[in-house]
Amino acid sequence: MIHCDNLTRAFEGDGVFDISLQVQAGQTLGLLGPTGAGKSVLLRVLAGHLRAQAGTASIFGLDCWRDRRRIFRRAVYAPMVPALEMRMTGEEYLNFSARYHGGFNPQKARRLTEQMDIPLTGQCRRMGQEERKKLGLLAALALDAEVFLLDEPFGSLSAFARGALADALQALRQSGAAVLMTSHVLEEVRRACSHIAIIRQGRLVVTQPVEALSLTRQKVYHITFNSPQQAASFAAEWEAGVELIGTRALVAIPASPQALLRTLARYEVVDLIGGREDAEEGFLRYYGDDIV
C-alpha cells in the first residue's frame, strides 16, 4: 500500500536519501530514528507536502505528489504537532474535521475518546500539549481509512494514553490498515508495530519484523587491556565494531567468540566481561554517534 523506491528528498539540512520501503495491508511499520534523522520529512513526502527529488513515493500505487487528493480519500496523515483550529472547542474541531475529511466513524471516535480520555469541551487554545495531541490523533484515527501516516503519535502523551494508543494501533493493524508511524523510542515501536525500520542521517539502516530484533542482538565484550597502546593495537587489528575508551575496548560480535579469543591471546588482557546486549543497546548500535 505504501511504497517508496530509492526516494530522495533533501530538506533544510536534513532529508531522506535513497529510501526504499514498503508497508502492506495489516502491517504497522515503526520508523525509528533520532531527531533530525529524516522521519518527518519522509512522512511529509508521503503526505504530498514535499516533492521527491529522486525516486518515487506512492500510496495505493498513486504518486504522493500528483495524486494526493485521490490518496487522501483512503488515507490519513497526522502531523507531529496537530494543527488545530484554536478558536474551536474540541467537539467543534472533531465535527469540522469529520465533515471536511469524510469517512468519519462515530463509534470509533466514541471508543477512542473513552480509551484515551480526550476532553472535547473547551477551546483548543486553552488545551494543554497532551490534550491537543490526543485531539489531533482522535481526528485522524476516527476515520475509516486504509492507510495511516502518523508522525510521532506517542510524543507528548502520558503513559496511560500511550497504552491506549498502542491498543488502537494494534486494532488498526488487525482491521487490515497499513500504518506508517515515526518514533524515537524503541519501546513504543516494539509495542505498537509489526515491523521496524531504523533511519539514521536520512538513510534506512535496517528494516525488519519487530520479532527479528531479538535475533539480531549481538554479544558485547568489554575488554580491559594493560595499556592504551595495547587497546589501540587491538582495535587496529580487529577493525570492525570496536569502541575504544582508554584501556578498554568494547567489541560487538554476532556469532561465536572463538576468533576474538584467538586474537586476544596475543595481548595482555586485564579483564574480560561478556554478555548479550538488550534490545535498546541493539537499537543504539544502529544509531551510531547520533545519540549522546
Partner 1 sequence: MISVLFFARFRPKSLLIWLLAALVLGAGAVAAYLPSPLEQLRFLRGEMPELFTVLGFVGDSNLPAFVLSALYGLLLPILANMQAVSLGRHLLARPLADGRLAQLLAAPHARASVMLLHFLALAVWIVLTQAACLAGQMLSAVLLFPVADLTALSRLSIGFIPTALLLSAFCCLLALVSPSEARYARRARLLLALMLILAMAGRLSGWTRLRLFSVWSLFDGRSLAFGAGGWGLAGLAGGLTLVCLAAALLYFQQREL
Q: Is 12 in the site for partner 1 (CB under 8 A)?
A: no
- Tell me if 143 sits within 8 A of 105, measured CB to CB: yes
Which range, of 22-30, 94-102, 120-128, 217-225, touches partner 1 by CB under 8 A? Answer: 94-102
Q: Indicate which single residue of 3, 44, 190, 217 sits in contact with partner 1 (rule: CB under 8 A).
A: 44
The C-alpha cell that represents 287 in the structure block: 544509531
Q: Is 96 in the site for partner 1 (CB under 8 A)?
A: yes
CB of 56 to partner 1, least distance (A): 17
- Tell me if 206 sits within 8 A of 197, measured CB to CB: yes
Q: How far is residue 288 from each of residues 38, 51, 186, 284, measured CA to CA in Å?
A: 16, 29, 15, 7
- Tell me if 208 sits within 8 A of 191, measured CB to CB: no
Q: Is 8 in the site for partner 1 (CB under 8 A)?
A: no
CB of 108 to partner 1, least distance (A): 18
Q: Is 47 in the site for partner 1 (CB under 8 A)?
A: yes
Q: Give the strands of the sheet with 242-245, arranged side by side.
A: 242-245, 248-253, 219-225, 269-276
- Tell me if 62 sits within 8 A of 71, measured CB to CB: yes
User: Would you call 27 helix, strand, or coil by DSSP?
Assistant: coil
Q: Is 285 in the site for partner 1 (CB under 8 A)?
A: no
Which range, of 92-100, 108-116, 120-128, 200-208, touches partner 1 by CB under 8 A? Answer: 92-100
Report the residue number, 156 or 194, with the smaller CB distance to partner 1: 156
Length of the chain: 292
Q: Which residues bind partner 1 (CB under 8 A)?
A: 44, 47-51, 68-70, 72-73, 76-77, 79, 81-85, 87-88, 96, 99-102
